[in-house]
Amino acid sequence: MNRKQQLFLASQSPRRRELLEQMSIDYQVISVDIDEQQHQGELPAAYVTRVASEKAWAGWHAQSTVIKSPVLAADTSVVIGSQIMGKPVDESDAFEMLRRLSDRTHEVYSAVALVDGETNVRISCSEVTFRLISDDEIRAYWQSGEPQDKAGGYAIQGLAALFIDNLNGSYSGVMGLPLFETAELLYDAGYNLLEQFKGSEKR
């Protein structure tokens, strides 16, 4: 199926909006509110899959029209060992998170869900290795303001890039919206993502 239709993004994240715009996708943001508490015994991959799906379904049900538009949503978690690291509540919490991430490899799970009357989900898992970070660097990083609303207390697209020794996986997935997996969902739903290339200059 080849179609050009409205797409809703169930996210207030400026990073997810930026990544979706990178794909030249027309969309509107729709506000959703769900309980993102991790269930007891829930593994990271299952957690991000469930939360992304629930966000997308909340956006689907929030539409007032009878003929509803597809809703895209995502969820990303920084994981060390089997523990999901949320957003730091204060400087002390961020300091502890970044000390744990320092000089070791952690995982970032990012799930993207598309609801169009049914749920389709893709998941990305990346490995991120931090170099050894000094306490002074952690304090200075906190004072930059960047870690305050970020899962795991860092933003790969920001100053934290200075700490990252290696990335094995999806850069956009670590940012919050894995573009390869997102494109797969949109292609399967009938979106023609090649429209953005029409009329482009040959190089």
The residues near 200 (Cβ < 8 Å, ≥ 6 apart) are none
| Residue 10 vs residues 42, 53, 60, 168: alpha-carbon distances, Å | 23, 10, 9, 27
Of these residues, 26, 33, 35, 75, which one is catalytic?
75
Cβ atoms of 187 and 124 closer than 8 Å: no
What secondary structure does DSSP assign to 61-83, as a single string?
Answer: HH--SSSPPPEEEEEEEEEETTE
* Angle, vertex CA 75, rays to CA 163 and CA 67, nearest 5: 145
Nearest to 73 by CA among 87, 61, 86, 84: 61
Q: Is 165 a catalytic residue?
A: no
Residue 164, CB-side half-sphere exposure with 13 Å CA sphere: 18
Active-site positions read 75
